[in-house]
Every structure is written in C-alpha cells, then in structure tokens.
Amino acid sequence: MRTLSVLLQKEFRQLSRNKFVPKVIVLFPIMVMLVIPWVTTMDVRNVGVTVVDDNRSTLSRRLVDNIDASEYLSVIAVCDDYAAALALLEAGETDAILEIPDDCESSLLEGRLKKMNISANGVNAMKGSLGSRYLMGAIAQTLAEVQAEKGLPASVEPTVVRNFYNPTLEYRNYMVPALMIMLLVMICGFLPALNLVGEKETGTIEQINVTPVGRFTFTLAKLIPFWLVGLVVLSIAMLLARGVYALSPAGSVAGIYAAALLFVLTMSGLGVAIANKSDTMQQAMFVMFFIVIIFILMSGLLTPIDSMPAWAQKITLFLPPRYFIEIMRSIYLKGATFGDLWHDFAALGVFAVVFDLIAVAAYKKRS
Amino acid sequence: MNETVISVRNLTKCFGSFRAVDGITFDVGRGEIFGFLGANGAGKTTAMRMLCGLSCPTSGSGTVAGFDVLREGERIKRHIGYMSQRFSLYDDLTVLENIRLYAGIYGLSHRQTLRRTAELFARLDFRKERNQLVGALPLGYKQKLAFSVATLHSPEIVFLDEPTGGVDPLTRRQFWELIYETAAAGTTVFVTTHYMDEAEYCSRVSVMVDGQIRALDTPAALKCRFRAESMDEVFRLLAREAKRGD
Amino acid sequence: MGNFGSFIKKETLHILRDRRTMLVVLLIPVVLMTLFGFAISTEINNIDVAVVAPHRTESVRQAVERMASNPYCTFKGYIPSDEIDRVLRRGEASAVAVFAADYDRIAAMPAPAEPAVQLIFDASNTNTAMSGAAYLQSILTGASAQASPVEMRLLYNPQMRSAYNFVPGIMGMIFILICALMTSVSIVREKENGTMEVLLVSPVRPMRIVLAKLVPYFMLSCINLATILLLAAYALDVPLSGSAGAIIAVSLLYLVLALALGLLISTLAEKQIVALIISAMLLMMPIVMLSGMLFPVENMPAVLQAISYIVPARWYIEAIRKLMIEGLPFAAVWREVLILLAMTVVFIVVSVKKFNDKLE
C-alpha cells in the first residue's frame, strides 16, 4: 500500500508539472463539446432545388413558391430543360431537381395526377434522401391545399407517430452521450499509453524495474490517475451538455459515473497493455489508433449496430464501448435504471477486469 | 576471499544467433570493488542486466546475494542497487521527491527515510538543490544523485554501469570517493568502466572480449602477467583480439 | 546526392524494421474501407417492433403479418399497453405500433378522419426514429394507400448506398495520419533523443536530412493510395470513370501538403507527446469532423463553415469527391487544386523558415 501511495504521488506530481497534458485534459473536452454537436446535426438544411417547369401554370408557380418558403429548401433556379438543371447539379450549385410535367395542373383537376420527378444528388446519400423527403413533403402539402380549395377529396394520414424520450428528434441528444464516450476513449486510452512508453523511452522505467516493486502495484499506479482524469473529463462534458445544450441525464448520475469508472479502467488498461508491448511512442500510437478507430466506428457510437451485417454484429460483442454507449444513451435519454441495464454493467465489469489483467501480464520487468 | 555475494557459472545470453554474453564464470566477495572492463559491445551491460534481474539468461546459472538469478529475480532486487548507463531518475521531480519515491518503493520507514536523506545531503553537500527539478541539475550532480538513490536502501551489492561517463575529472574523483566509502561500509560494488585509471582503483578486475571473460585478477597481478606498465596497456593487449566491432 | 541517398536508406530501414507499425499503417486503409464499405451504414435496415392491439381481429393480424414478413422489421410480439415504456426503455423494441380499438372500422373508411395506428418510437436513437417512421408507415398502410404524387431517384448513386461517400474522406484522413503525424513524431523523436544533433553536425545540408525523413513516408502513402484506389475500384465498384490520373495527381499534391504540415508540427513541438497530441487531437479531429467526411459542411453553422475553409482536407476531399464520384473532369477542380497548392507553399515556407531559425 505504501509503495502504491508513493507511486501515485509521483504520477500526480508529474501530471501537474507537465506543461501540456493538463491543458489537453481540460481544453479538449470543452472544444469537442462546444464544436462537434453543431457539426453532427443530421437535420439537412439549405437543400438547393432547381425546378424544370414544363407546365408554367398557377399550380407549378405555387409549388415553386411553397418549396422556396420551406424552412429547409430553397429554389435555386427555374429552368426550361433538364440538361440546364443537370449542369447546375454537376457544378454543385443545386442538390435536387424537380421536374413538373407539362400537363400537371390539368391532370390534377381530372383527379389522375401525373407524377412529378425528383432527381437528387446522391453523392451525399443523407442529404440526397432527406432532402428529397422534405421536397416530397412540401409538394404533398401544396397538393393537399389545392385539393381542399378545389373541393377534391383528400385524406388524413392513416398513422400518427409519437417519439418517446426525444420528442423533437433532436439529433444532438443522440450525439452528445456518444461524444462523451469518444472523449473518454481518446483521453483515457491514449494518455496512459503515451505516459508509459514515455517512461520506456527516457529509461526511467529501468530504474523502477531493478526495484522490488510489484507488477500489479506499478500498473495500478498508472491506471488510477487516469481514472480521476476520466471523471474530470466526464464532469466537464456533462456540465457543458447541461449548460449549452440543456441536456441532463433523465436517469441517475451515479449510474453514469459507475459505468464510466468501469469503462475508463478498461480503456486505460488497454492503453497500458499496448504501451507495455511497444518500444516507441509512434508504435504505441498507431496500434492504439487502429483499435480506437474500430471501437468508434463499430460500437454503435455513430451508426446503429442493427444496420450491420451479422458477422460485424458478432464482432461488436467484443467491443467494450458498445456496452457503455448502451448504458449512456439509456440513462441519459430514457432514464433507464440499473435493473434495466445490469447485463451491460456486468459486461463492462468483465472487460475492465480482463483488460487490466492483460495490462499487468504485459508488463515484463525482465526481458 | 571472504564470503561470496555473486557467483556465476557459464552465464550466457543470446539474441537470436548472436551470443552477447558467452558462458562467463566468476565470483565476487563481500566488500569488493569489482571492475568489469571491456570494449563497447563486449557484453558488459548485458551481463550486468542479467545479474540485476532485468534480463533473463539463456543458459548457465548464478546467484546474487544468495538468490538464484534465473528463478529469484524479484528477490534479488531487494538486496541490490543499480545505476544505469543512462540517467534514469525522473527529470520532472525534485531531488527530494526522487529520493522519497525510491525510499518508499524500497519500503524504508519514515524515520529511516529522514535519516538517510539527511546523511545523503550532508555527504553530497546538496542542501541547496534539494527542491530543484532533477532535469535542471548539471550532469555531475545527477550522477552523484543516481548513485545515492541506488544505495539509499543500503543494498548488499550495488551495480554501476559506466557511472562516470561524460563527467569532468574532479567529479570523477569525488565519485570514486563515494564508491570507496560505500565499499568500506561493507557494500559490494560491481562497476563497469571505460577509464583505465579507474580500473586501477578496483580490488579486482575482469576484462571481457567478445562476450567472454579473458582475464580476471587484481590490477597488480594482471599487469605482472601481461608485463604491462598500466591497466591501459593490459586492456589494449586483450582488446586487440576482439572480432566484434562497435 | 550520394549521401542523400544513404540517408533515405537509413530512414527506410528504420521504418521497415518496425514491423508492427508497418503492418498497422498498411492495414488501416483496408480496415477502414471494409468497415465503411461493408460493415457500417447510416441506413436503418432493421426495426424491432412490438405491437399493442386491444382486439386482435383478422385485419390487425394481417397488418402485423405484413410487418413481420418485411425484411426491415422484426416482430417482437404483442404487449399490453402499460408495458410500452418498459419495453422501449430496456431496448427490447425500438418501436411500438398501437392499433386503435376500432381499427377495423377506421381502416374500412375510404377517407379516414382519424388515425388507425399510432407508432411510438424510441427516439433516443434519432436515426431509427426518423427513417423508421417512413418505413413503418408505408408497410402498415400497405400498397392500397393512394400512390405518392412524386417519383424520386438519386443520381450517381441510385442504390442509395453511402459506400461512395466515405472513400474521399478516408483518403483525406489516412494521408494526414501517415504524412503529418508519423513524420512529425519521427522527427521530434530524434530531437528528443539527441540523435538529431548528431545528424545536424554532419556535412549534409540540414534540410536534406529532414527531406530524407519525409521520403519513406511519402512512399508508404503512395502504397496506401494504390490500396485505396484498387479497393475502391474492385471491391466497392466505385466507377473511377477515367479520372484516375487526375485523382492521383491531386492526391500527390495533398501528400506533399501533409508532409509539409508534419514538418511544421515537428518544428513547433519539442516533445513527442506534444507532436502526437497536436496531430491527433488538433488535426485529426477537425479533419474527421469539419472536412465534410462524415457530416456535410453545409449543415454547419456559419462560424464552423468558416473554420472548415482552413482545413486542407476539406478541399482535398471536395476535389476527390468531384473527380471520383461525380466523374467531373480535372478542369472542375481547379479552384480546390489552387487552394491546396497555396496552402502547400505556405506550409513549406513557414516550416523551412522555422527550421532554419531553430538552427541558428
């Protein structure tokens, strides 16, 4: 115990004297939390529409006006032929083309509406499909108005949709918990790895290796500081989420911290294990980067696990962030309780123990 | 020779097909200053690292402070001190913090730590520098500090790997006074060096060439055997046979 | 020139000897392309649906059957109405379809005045809720509902696979990673170890020593470029429609830019950890987030869009996107190329100046 306490004193002194790392620990979460949520908005705005109006009728003009008035859409140009519109799309000036057929108005009045065509730029699939959906909505609304005015039969949508836990479908609410996890992955994974390889590169670890200090004690002394660092990072992020985005956990804060403790132990254990097996910072960094990128892309942080093919879904079972993201989103947005999530907590616990044991085992005092 | 504290039989270390240390055999007695000479790449550091439990021997056997080199590496570490070729205390801790750290690791009690620290500062005349960051100290001070930390817990044996590399003659002189004091207090000193004048201060010297020990005796006996004026000449005669370069 | 060659050889051996890093560097593009191409997708292709039905009449059963047999839906069973919150909260289903008590009557009306089904989504997963609503509505209303007034198609990428989109982004990221991050770290490492001083006192011109460090990373990146283009063309079927030459030319320019950036970082940082953090957190994060790789730039607030102008990867990705995906000719990307060129010149001038200042 005494050994652990002197080693911890040493780690904290070194951390506090470092000119760079404490700044990163405070500023990085602030930067990420203030900037990224604005970047990750999925509600597509400013979809530029070019209309090829072959009809030139009251209806087609009304369509153009209504589209332009829509919050998300703006009419860039009205062209006479498709080729001109396509040129605009290729130049990136417009995102979608709406073709109104020449007998559009008359076909509506006759009750057998001729179809209009939307051609969207599919390079950005998200913008393409969402943009066309907005466009379709604007068209449907205009048609319904006209139908009502002309006394033509219209119908109510046969289904209504209610959204629980995030009624306004705010994409930010979905991303903020994920960002907290990314912060913990990056800070609590990379920093311990860099710290330990740093000791190898400067040779200070050799002086430790000739002492009788235990492998377990030494590893613990490397893990515990980042435990606290992780809690600081998480707290900064949660305060910002509350202050800037008015997002507070619907469930218990204690549950979030408990899960974070397990998760940070897992990540820093991984970092220490990789550092133990690396000789240079470059090496540790790249191996770490490789693993982190798989963690971030595959664990459901940014894209749903359900959308993956079966083989990829099986891999996700071995990724610790998968369980943490489940816990974070459920507690933050749905107010889930420990009883709802105990199996995720159990999985994280197992990962923490296994990764930390690997970290201890990877530390060789003797080559 | 009185009581043996290091005893090595056919100790060998291979890296792949390269035999860095090739079957060395020797004994070191308590209180000796044992000089370990050899050209760069002769295998001195590798041999020393095996004795300290930093490196696992490929074959052979040995005991250090009564413990087996192969199986009891961690127990050896309680009884030895080690000062590496490369300065390896923490640059971003102060002198006092470094000392307290290692005192804690070696399990010195609070009272012992205070006493040893006071002794150490008096001996090194280090009072002013106690709260300075180690990284800011001149090299000579760093070396003396590293030596003091290596002997902080009064080990039975202290291993010094080229302890005076790169320091001025005056500091080297002071450093050897420290070594003598330590040996006089009963600690065995195992030291590698490039400086042949330093070899003259040792009670016994071994010369390694290409991973093997070519000569081992007191400096006087070696000079007599090779009909040489100085250790420098002895060394040059032996090193000429070396096949390995740097 | 002779000793320049020997320096390059030394650096190359240095990198080749570190097998693990080599392996990772060569594998990263393959793994990224595989993950983006085959594993992850922003599209929703499965929704777990539970059903609340006060009366399980024949027509309700038919509607549920339609849902259960749809490849995008997994039917999770009937639940009582007071279980809705629990089922959603525990993640046992991501949507609940609540059928009206008089579903049969409403469904039979030609122009229903009230909804027959209420769909409740777990909107904590915003994506699923957004796309799922459209899927489920169309399934439940079935083919009988009036046909949509509009027909929609996406150009260039009619299958709506986002497979194409990410390739330029991956390229933008990997080259910064290898050229900027690896070079800066390896130069700073030599500074930290003091080996740089040894090299600098040698008769070789200092700039050459640094250039020699850059060459192997440049070659590594070229291998990666080839890997990515081959994977894109043959594994993902991205039509490189005759633009391969232009793509390679723009990429080489970007490689030089990234190397210059790495050089700049190495002159600013004294410690490896600083170089790493600058490159990883201050360079990689903005690239991933602001360059339009994952999230379209035009959705961002004006301030962030302005910041994105100074992110080199943004221009590179835009150029590659035009060339690779839209199949536009080289002439269409002259603006991006000019901007990249200007940035490269600035980075080189500043880093050479900084480097020489340090020497004096």
Query: What is the rounded average pLDDT of the residues B18-46?
Result: 90
A49, β-bridge pairs = A75, A96
Whether A233 has a pLDDT exceeding 70, the answer reads yes
Element (DSSP H or E) covering residue B207: strand B204-209
Mean pLDDT value of segment C199-206: 72
Burial B87-114 (b: 16+ CB within 10 A, else e): bbbbbbbbbbbbbbbbbbbbebeeeebe
> Quick one: A75 and A31 in the same domain?
no
Measured between beta carbons, which residues in chain A are less than 8 angstroms from residue B53?
Answer: 210, 365-366
Give residue A42's pLDDT. 59
Q: How many angstroms separate the Cα of A169 from the Cα of each of A71, A325, B70, B196, C139?
A: 16, 18, 65, 80, 22
For residue C44, give both structure tokens. Answer: 């929703």
Do A352 and A234 share a structural domain? yes
Whether the per-residue pLDDT at C158 is higher than 50: the answer is: no
DSSP B196: H
Q: Which of A120, A149, A178 is the last residue of a domain?
A: A149
pLDDT tens for C321-358 read: 888 877 788 888 899 999 999 999 999 888 888 877 76
Rg, Å, chain C Cα set:
28
Q: How many CB atoms lie within 10 A of CB C133?
A: 21
- Residue B212 per-residue DSSP state: E
Is the residue at A304 inside a domain? yes
Residue A151: Cβ-neighbour burial (10 angstroms; 0-12, 13-18, 19+): exposed
What element of type H or E holds C13?
helix C2-17
Please state the separation of Cα A290 from the chain's center in Å. 18
Confidence of residue B217 (pLDDT cuts 50, 70, 90): very high
Q: Strands B188-192, B33-38: parallel, antiparallel or unpaired by DSSP?
A: parallel
A201 inside 8 A of chain B by CB: no
For strand A47-53 and strand A73-79, is the pairing parallel, antiparallel, or unpaired? parallel
Residue A187 forms part of a structural domain = yes
Q: How far apart are CA B46 and CA C12, in angstroms?
A: 28
Across the interface, do B104 and A213 touch by the CB < 8 Å criterion? no
Residue C36 has what pLDDT? 81
Alpha-carbon distances of B228 from B34, B220, B240, C230, rounded to whole Å: 20, 10, 15, 71
Query: Are A119 and A182 in a shared domain?
Result: no
**Would you give the DSSP letter of residue A251?**
S
Nearest residue on chain C to A123, judged by CA atoms?
A: C165
- Position B160 scores a pLDDT of 94
Q: How far apart are CA C12 and CA C213, in angstroms?
A: 8
Nearest residue to C53 via CA among C76, C78, C83: C78
Q: Amino acid identity, residue C360? A: E
Order of strands, sheet of A159-164, starting from the edge strand that comes earlier in the sequence: A159-164, C117-122, C95-99, C47-52, C73-78
**Minimal Cα distance from C128: which residue of A?**
A304
Q: Is B163 part of the contact surface with chain A (CB cutoff 8 Å)? A: no
Among the listed ranges A68-77, A81-90, C191-200, C257-266, which one has the minimum average pLDDT value?
A: C191-200
Rg of chain A (C-alpha set): 28
Residues in C touching A17 (Cβ below 8 Å): none
Choose between B25 and A116: higher pLDDT: B25
Burial of A111 (0-12, 13-18, 19+ CB in 10 A): exposed
Of A54-68, A117-131, B197-211, C224-238, where does mean pLDDT reach its minimum?
A117-131
Structurally, chain A folds into a number of domains equal to 2
Lowest mean pLDDT of A88-97, A292-301, C81-90, name the range.
A88-97
| Residue C157: per-residue pLDDT | 44
Chains that touch C (3 or more CB pairs under 8 A): A
Q: Are residues A349 and A221 in the same domain?
A: yes
At residue B121, the 3 state secondary structure works out as: helix
Based on the domain organization, do A114 and A248 belong to the same domain? no
- Per-residue pLDDT at C212: 81
Higher pLDDT, residue C273 or A230: A230
Q: pLDDT at residue C156 above 60?
A: no
pLDDT beyond 90 at B26: yes
What angle (nearest 5°) sits at the alpha carbon of residue A152, between those of residues A150 and A155? 130
Q: Does B51 touch chain A (CB under 8 A)?
A: no
Residue C143: pLDDT over 50:
no
Shared domain for A115 and A171, answered yes or no, is: no
Specify whether the CB–CB gap between B29 and B2 falls below 8 A.
yes
Structural domains of chain C in order of their starting residue, each with its CATH number: 2-40+162-359 (no CATH), 47-141 (3.40.1710.10)
Check residue B77 and give its pLDDT. Answer: 92
The CB density around residue B166, as the number of other CB atoms within 10 Å, is: 11
What is the domain-level CATH number for residue A109? 3.40.1710.10
Asked whether residue A278 falls in the same domain as residue A304, the answer is: yes
Chain A residues whose CB is inside 8 A of the B102 CB are 207, 211
For residue A59, what is the DSSP state?
Answer: H
C-proximal residues of A, 334-363, CB under 8 Å: 334-336, 340
Is residue A270 exposed (0-12), middle (13-18) or buried (19+ Cβ within 10 Å)? buried
Do residue A280 and residue C126 have CB atoms under 8 angstroms apart? Answer: no
At C145, the pLDDT band (50, 70, 90 cuts) reads very low
State which of A149, A176, A204 marks the end of a domain. Answer: A149
Residue A155 in domain: no
| Contact between chain B and chain C (3 or more Cβ pairs less than 8 Å apart) | no
What is the rounded radius of gyration, in angstroms, for the C-alpha atoms of chain B? 18
What pLDDT, on a 0 to 100 scale, did the predictor assign at position A175? 86
Whether A205 contacts chain C with CB within 8 A: no
Copy the structure tokens of residue B62.
């040995």
Contact C355, C268 (CB under 8 A): no
Closest CA–CA distance from residue A286 to any residue of chain B (Å): 26
Question: Do residues A12 and A86 share a domain?
Answer: no
Q: Which one of A3, A5, A367 has the shortest CB-CB distance to B56?
A: A367
* A347 and A230 belong to one structural domain: yes
Residue whose tokens read 């990428």: C157
Beta carbons of C42 and A126 less than 8 Å apart: yes
For residue C130, pLDDT over 90 is answered with no
Question: Average pLDDT for residues A276-285, to the nearest whole number?
Answer: 88
Q: Which of B158, B138, B150 has the alpha carbon at shortest distance from B98?
A: B150
The pLDDT assigned to C144 comes to 40
Highest average pLDDT, of A262-271, C153-162, C166-175, comes from: A262-271
Angstrom CA distances, B189 to A151, A211, B32, B159, B163, stand at: 108, 17, 6, 6, 12
- In a domain, residue A158? The reply is no
pLDDT above 70 as % of chain A: 93
Per-residue pLDDT reduced to its tens digit, C284-312: 777 777 776 667 676 677 788 888 888 88
Distance of CA C151 to the CA centre of its chain: 30
B77 → closest Cβ in A5, A202, A211: A211
Alpha-carbon span B2 to B31, nearest angstrom: 9
* Residue A210 covered by a domain: yes
Q: How far apart are CA A99 and CA A136, in angstroms?
A: 12
Distance CA C355, CA C360 (A): 9
HSE of C3, CA atoms in CB hemisphere, 13 A: 10
| Residue A215 included in any domain | yes
Provide the pLDDT for residue C147.
Answer: 43
The two structure tokens encoding residue C92 = 């046992």
Question: What are the CA-CA distances from residue A25 to residues A160, A232, C184 (Å)?
Answer: 46, 8, 22
Length of chain A: 367
Domain limits for position A17: 2-40+167-362
A160 is a domain residue: no
Option in A2, A3, A366 nearest B73 (CB) = A366
- Which residues in C27-52 are b (16+ Cβ under 10 Å) and which e? ebbeebbbbbbebbbbbbebbbbbbb
Chain C closest-CA separation from residue A1 CA (Å)? 30
Contact A18 B101 (CB under 8 A): no
Same domain for A76 and A36: no
* Mean per-residue pLDDT of chain A: 87
A314 has a pLDDT exceeding 90: yes
Per-residue pLDDT tens digits for B235-245: 888 888 777 75
* CA pair distance C360, C356, nearest whole angstrom: 7
Comparing CA positions, the residue from B216, A153, B13, A2 lying closest to residue C112 is A153
A35 touches chain C (CB under 8 A): yes
β-strand partners of B68: B63
Residue C2 has pLDDT above 90, yes or no: no
Question: Hey, is the C-beta of B84 within 8 angstroms of any chain A C-beta?
Answer: yes
- Do A259 and A197 have their domain in common? yes
Mean pLDDT, residues C119-144:
73
Mean pLDDT of chain B: 89
CB C314 within 8 A of CB C295: no
Q: Read out DSSP for B129-155? A: GGGSBGGGS-HHHHHHHHHHHHTTT--
Q: Does A154 fall in a domain? A: no
Q: Are residues A140 and A35 in the same domain?
A: no
